[in-house]
Amino acid sequence: MSDASQSRCVYFLSNPDKGDAASVMEDLRSFADSRCTIVGSSLGFDGRAAVEAGADRIVVIGGDGTLIGVARSLGLDQRPLIGVNVGKLGFLAEFSIDELKSCFDRAIRDDTIISRRTVLQVTVRHEGDVRDASLAVNDCVIQAGPPFRIIKLGITINGAHLSNVGGDGLIVCTPSGSTAHNLSAGGPIMQPGVDAIVLTPLSPHSLTHKPLVVERESVIDILALDVNEGTTAIIDGQVSHLLRPGDRVTIRRFDSDFLLVHNPLYAEWHNLVTKLHWGRAPSCE
């Protein structure tokens, strides 16, 4: 082991809601003990203790939701996250336990396998005053909610009115989030490093409102023109803000990127092809 590996500081975070995540964390801590400087470990989704401890890498044990929660907690102090999947799909949490062990030194040392991904700042204003603010690693989804009548949203980009959209709502997502709710709603799949933001209308009552890709530096304003009692802005599926008539949701690029360590054992498109089965030919059986 090189001196560079030994000097790297690593913090371990584990999702307390995953049954075996705590034991996995102890196993990985034991494995890593002689390979790096371990600066701490904890159960939860808050990565601020890792930042305060001076971590160069944070090993996150859980699933994609755990990774997203940790990234959101870091705010401006983003650190490269190594996702160990003990959840379901594991699209962002790319490493199995054995895979991380087999390439641990490279995962904590090699900065060339860090993927930089756009994060969004979502601000909800009521009568001009800030009511809520959140970070979105994947997306901000405005959903009609009960009583499930069509809602109307006004969309402005960089101060210029674009359109009023009537339907079930709107998805605004990062390239990382393009394979989440956006994919299910018929939006485009985007390479993680693309400098862009996607707007995908949800079941628009129109033949002309199609998904739109805009520049990453765009400032998107969404005005709640006609909404239901349960209309909600949902951030990464983890945080919800009820919207009232006249509320304005402003979405722009956040000042720090989400840093994700890519599993070097796999090609760039491995997860898209093997986990989402993109491009698979129809079966003749």
What are the structure tokens assigned to 13, written together? Answer: 């975070």
DSSP helix/strand/coil, 184? helix
Cβ pair 221, 139 in contact under 8 A: no
What are the structure tokens assigned to 37, written together? Answer: 């400087």
Question: Of residues 64, 139, 221, 247, which has the active-site annotation?
Answer: 64
What is the phi/psi pair of residue 87, to 5°?
-105, -135
DSSP helix/strand/coil, 93? coil
- Nearest to 136, CA basis, from 175, 168, 186: 175
Q: Is 64 in the active site?
A: yes
DSSP-assigned letter for residue 191: -
Cα 113 to Cα 65: distance, rounded to the nearest angstrom:
21
Cα 180 to Cα 87: distance, rounded to the nearest angstrom:
16
5: how many CB neighbours lie within 10 A of its CB? 17
Q: So which residues are the catalytic ones? A: 64
